[in-house]
Copies of this chain bind each other. A is one copy, B any other.
Amino acid sequence: MNTFECIEKRYSYRGKYSNELIPKEDLIKILEAGLNAPSGCNKQTTSLICVDDKEILDKLYSVIVPKTGNIAPAMICVLTERINAYRDKCFAIQDYSAAIENMLLAITDLGYASCWVEGHITDDDRICDKMASILNVPSNYDLVCYLPVGKPIETTKKVNKKAFEERAWFNGYKK
């Protein structure tokens, strides 16, 4: 798929997924796309765990309470290390967000769907920590987001966005 077509086509899918297993080579391509994102001072603070083992997936979904979204045949968990990059500045959020966007595009390009799930699992009840524990993630990493990955079997609508003129201007603020 063409880059611009893919960027335009990506959307947050909240419908049901097919049970169809995802070939490992597709999952690897998606992970590689994530790792190819830039990171502040090349600190590479983002790491990834892809889960396609049914038993482990079931354990992960069992701690995502209340449930959000639908169960997909694979899930990519995004880990971050809070390492300072430039003086006392840490760009871990920027780093993993760029990696996530690359993965969402890769997922779209390969004909799968996904949705960036972050706030629900990093909230006060810290579902993310329960997920990290299931995956044996050491304490120097935070699990901050997961992306379900699967073939969409429903047609859902893209969200509406403000007009270009409301958010982008040339040579100065113009709103």
Contacts and interface: CB of A to CB of B under 8 A. Distances in A.
B48 A168 contact: yes
A2 B110 CA distance: 12
Number of copies: 2
Contact of A97 (B98, B108, B137, B160): B98
Given A101-B98, A116-B38, A168 B93 contact: no
Interface string A113-141: 00010111011000000000001111001
B173 A109 contact: no
Interface in A25-72: 27-29, 31-38, 40-42, 44, 46-53, 56
A83 to B, nearest CB: 13
A42 B120 CA distance: 15
A164 B32 contact: yes
Nearest to A104: B38
Interface in A1-37: 1-4, 6-8, 10-12, 24, 27-29, 31-37
A61 to B, nearest CB: 14
Given A48-B167, A170-B50, A4 B29 contact: yes
14 contacts: A3-B3, A3-B6, A3-B108, A3-B109, A7-B102, A32-B168, A38-B101, A56-B172, A86-B120, A87-B119, A89-B122, A95-B97, A98-B98, A136-B173
